Amino acid sequence: MKRVGGHLIGHMNLTDPGTEQLLSSLRSRGYDSAGGSFRTGRPDRTTIPLTTRAGLPVVAKLYPAGKGEGVFTNMIDVWRSSFGERRRPPGLPRPIEYLAEQGILIMERVDGVPLAERPHVEPSLLDDAVCLLASLHESNAKSTQMRSSKGIVKSIRRKAATASTLAPEFQEAFGTAAEALDACRIEDQELVASHGDFSPRNLVHGSDRLVLIDWDRFQTADPARDLAYLGIWCWAGKVRQRERSDWSVLERTVAHYDSLRPQAAVRKRLPFHIAAGLIRIAHSVVELWPAERPIVPRLLQEAQYQLRMTS
């Protein structure tokens, strides 16, 4: 594999007839291939680096039928807010257009790499990521989708039921974790523009900017939810790699966030959102990565441990 514009390529076979048809369709819209394709996550959608006729670098991201339009709408809403085009630099890539017939979202291509691809993320870069998040939370971006604590509990119950069907051996553990989450449900306080999947894989660091990508889960939600998910992603990554895990990343990011937005008082609501995020990841492991199912009990045990910290 090699890199194009800072991104790994090789996911798409450029000699495949379907690929050539897709590229031909993009060329008819004024986009030329930049020489490959890359993936932005695990799992993720096919993403192709392109250039416009004027030579501007862009990205085409493929979505199943009807799935990409909502993401494009989210990006437009955020782009038009104080977090987007009026921010210096903008906090997300500029959305360009959505090709509904092909299910392709076209956006600006930022020359950089996701933090998840870096062998080591410097503490100063984590601080920059938290500053970016605080900027989003304080922006006037709005989503018509609201994720309340009540909605989170309902979603987790659904995921627990699905996971229990797919992996009956975990039925009791999922059910117990979901019940514990419901019992510790918090009262909603400040609700802000929330990315919904704030993690190193969705933070792209370029030469002169840090941006958030993948706005599929953009909602109005508790600011603690984004912070919790960053910490969970790092903690669970260590568990997946069978390495010693701790919550040091979360501690640092929350401390920095507190210094920027002390009025948010996120700490007392973190355990609820950490637990919800851990159950969500456990569900994803069961559904998407069966080979990793042995880590599911650890994820669910940690979720219950976090909830006990609230009592």
Rounded to whole angstroms, the Cα distance separating 260 from 170 reads 40
pLDDT score at 119: 86
pTM: 0.90
Map tokens 């993720």 to a residue.
44
Q: What is the pLDDT along the chain (311 residues), one digit of tens a residue?
A: 233 333 333 344 544 556 777 888 899 889 988 765 555 445 567 888 999 999 999 999 999 878 899 999 999 999 999 999 999 999 999 999 999 988 999 999 998 999 999 888 899 999 999 999 999 999 999 999 999 999 999 999 999 999 999 999 999 999 999 999 999 999 999 999 999 999 999 999 988 899 999 999 999 999 999 999 999 999 999 999 999 999 999 999 999 999 999 999 999 999 999 999 999 999 999 999 999 999 999 999 999 999 998 76
Q: Which residues 6+ apart lie within 8 Å of 34 measured at CB?
A: 4, 5, 48, 49, 50, 51, 57, 109
Rounded to whole angstroms, the Cα distance separating 302 from 278 reads 8
The residue length of the chain stands at 311
pLDDT score at 43: 53
- 91 phi and psi angles, rounded to 5 deg: -85, 0
Domains and CATH numbers, the chain: 2-109 (3.30.200), 115-308 (3.90.1200.10)
SS3 for 112? strand
